Amino acid sequence: MAQAKNTAEALRPEDFVILRERSAPSDLLVREPVGYWKDAWRRLRRNKVAMTSLVVLGLFLIMIIIGPYLRGYDYITAAPQYKNADMSAQFWLGADALGRDLFSRLWVGTRVSFVIAIVCTAVQVVVGCLYGSVMAYFGGIVDEIMMRILEVITAIPSLLITILIMIALGNSAFSLLVALCIASWCPTARVVRGQIMQLRESEYVMAAEAMGERPMRIILRHLLPNIMGILILDVATSIPGYIFQEAGLSFIGLGLQTPAISLGLLISNGQAVMNSHVNQLIFPAAVLCIMVLAFNLLGDGLRNALDPKFRK
């Protein structure tokens, strides 16, 4: 203590050196300015779970593209001599009831399911956005009528309408697409409408209107970019839903049918031999679960990243 006091007393003004003048303006932000997207990405990157999911999905994507060709087998033509072959160096995951390499088929099936999910999501988002924004933009009687139509569609239990359409149109990829999409855009349209209703009141849209821009241009240029966050989230959470639905429908015989290959069909075929050749059920089911899991976790991460409330 005493020593310290002595030291303090010993300090003289010459002991201090002025390094430099405070030159920063007082209104400078504490943090470097970051755009909404950059910030969201930064937060997403910090989320370990979400990033792991993203990496897993990336791996799946690679496998979807190259997986079927890795083994170089013909995964379509029946090879009776390999019926239900067990896992081996030749067939990594075994062979199916018609003796075809399950590893190759698994990735083809995943590809089909994935593509169906992506296309359905695209349809859902595009139709939902258009419908929702038209509703919100025009308001009044247009909004009223379109809202009623939307309510009618929403009111039919989605499972029923999907099955009805599959029966009416037959088993094909196209009818599956129609069946899965027919009602799925409704929630998107609602959300988009709600968002745009808020944005409409904002000054820059009023300014654009005052400048005489055409409604479509306003929707595309000003309104949609503002709801991108919500849409990205919508996409991330919709894809696993579609993968699930496709698998479910194919499983009960109302989705795709052989010779098509999809995750649902593979699981369906696997379940038929689940007692004697459980590998045929486990691997497709595991791919389905992991893929859906990854999308769900990524969705969670995106929700946190894109939600301005969490912005620190």
Partner 1 sequence: MIKFVLRRFLELLLALFLIATATFFLTAAAPGDPLLSRTLALPEASRDAMYAKYGLDKPVLERYVITMKGMLHGDFGESVVYQGQTLQTILRDKLPVSARLGLQQLIFGVLVGLLLGVIAAVKRETWIDRCIVVFAVLMMSVPELVLGLIFQKYFAGTLKLLPVIGWPTGKDLWFGGWKYTILPTLSGGLLYIATYSRLLKTSILDVLDQDYILTARSKGLSEPRIVWSHIMRNSMIPIVTRLPVTLAMCLTGSFMIEKIFAIPGIAAYFVEAVSANDLSIVLGETVFLAALFITVIFLTDILYTIVDPRIRIQGGKR
Partner 2 sequence: MKQITLNKWKRLSALLLALVMAFALVSCGSTSDGSAAPSASAPASDAEPAAPTDSAAPAQEGDAAPAQESASSDLAADQTLNLLLSTSTVNVLEPNGASWVGEAQIYAETQAGLLRIVTDEDGNDSYVADGAEDYVISDDGLTYTFYLRDNTWSDGVPVTAQDYVYSFFRNLDPENGFSTTQYVDVKNAQAYYDGEITDPAEVGISAPDDHTVVYTLEHPNSEFIYYLAYRSGFPARQDVIEAATSQYGTDYTEMVFSGPFKITSWVKDNSVTLEKNETYWDADNVYLNTVKFQLVPEISTQATLFDAQQLDVVEYNDDYGEDWLAQADAGQIRYISKPGAYSNFLMFACENGGNSGLMGSAKIRLALSLAIDRQELVDVIWGRNEAAYTYVPPACLVGTTEFNVTGEGLVKELQAQYATDEQLQALFQEGLTELNSSLALSDVYLDFVRQSNTLAEQNEVEYLAQTWERRLGIHINVVNTPDDEERQQQMDYDIGLNSWEGGASPYDYLFVVNVPFGLKYLTGVYTNEEVNGLLANVTAIPDETEQANVYHQIENIILEEGGVGPLYFTDIRYFVQTDVQGLHFTNFGAAAIEFSHAYIAAE
| Contact partner at residue 99 from partner 1, partner 2, none, CB < 5 to 8 Å by partner kind | partner 2
d(CA 169, CA 121): 21
Residue type, 21: E
φ, ψ dihedrals at 95, nearest 5° = -125, 160
Residue 52 touches partner 2, criterion: CB under 8 A: no
Residue 117 touches partner 1, criterion: CB under 8 A: no
Residue 247 touches partner 1, criterion: CB under 8 A: yes
d(CA 153, CA 103): 40
Residue 179 corresponds to which tokens in the numbers above? 């069946």
Interacting positions 58-77 with partner 2 (CB under 8 A):
76-77
Do the beta carbons of residue 89 and residue 71 sit within 8 Å? Answer: no
Q: Is the peptide bond preceding residue 259 cis, with omega within 30 degrees of 0? A: yes
Q: Which of 164, 207, 272, 286 binds partner 2 (CB under 8 A)?
A: 272
d(CA 251, CA 263): 9
Do the beta carbons of residue 51 and residue 42 sit within 8 Å? Answer: no
> Measured between alpha carbons, how far is residue 44 from residues 32, 62, 137, 240, 297 in Å?
18, 22, 32, 19, 11
Residue 23 touches partner 2, criterion: CB under 8 A: no
Residue 171 touches partner 2, criterion: CB under 8 A: yes
Concatenating the DSSP letter of every residue in 2-44 gives: HHHHHHHHH--GGG--------S-TT--SS----HHHHHHHHH
Residue 251 touches partner 1, criterion: CB under 8 A: yes
Q: Which residue number, 99 or 248, has a Cβ lying nearer to partner 1?
A: 248
Q: Which residue number, 255 or 301, has a Cβ lying nearer to partner 2?
A: 255
| Contact partner at residue 213 from partner 1, partner 2, none, CB < 5 to 8 Å by partner kind | none
Residue 272 touches partner 1, criterion: CB under 8 A: no
Residue 13 touches partner 2, criterion: CB under 8 A: no
3-class SS of residue 60: helix
For the window 75-94, what string marks contact with partner 2 as x by the rule CB under 8 A? -xxx-x--x-----------
HEC readout, 166-221: HHHHCCCHHHHHHHHHCCCHHHHHHHHHHHHHHHHCCHHHHHHHHCCCCHHHHHHH
Residue 252 touches partner 2, criterion: CB under 8 A: yes
- Shortest Cβ 254–partner 2 spacing (Å): 7
> Measured between alpha carbons, how far is residue 277 from residues 95, 245, 284, 302 in Å?
10, 25, 13, 39
Interacting positions 181-220 with partner 1 (CB under 8 A):
194
For the window 125-164, what string marks contact with partner 1 as x by the rule CB under 8 A? -----------------------x--xx-xxxx-xx--xx
Residue 122 touches partner 1, criterion: CB under 8 A: no
Which residues lie near partner 1 (CB under 8 A)?
Answer: 148, 151-152, 154-157, 159-160, 163-165, 167-168, 170, 194, 240, 244, 247-248, 251-252, 254, 267, 271, 274, 285, 288-290, 292-293, 296-297, 300, 303, 309
Which residues lie near partner 2 (CB under 8 A)?
Answer: 76-78, 80, 83, 97-99, 167, 170-172, 251-254, 257-259, 268-269, 271-277
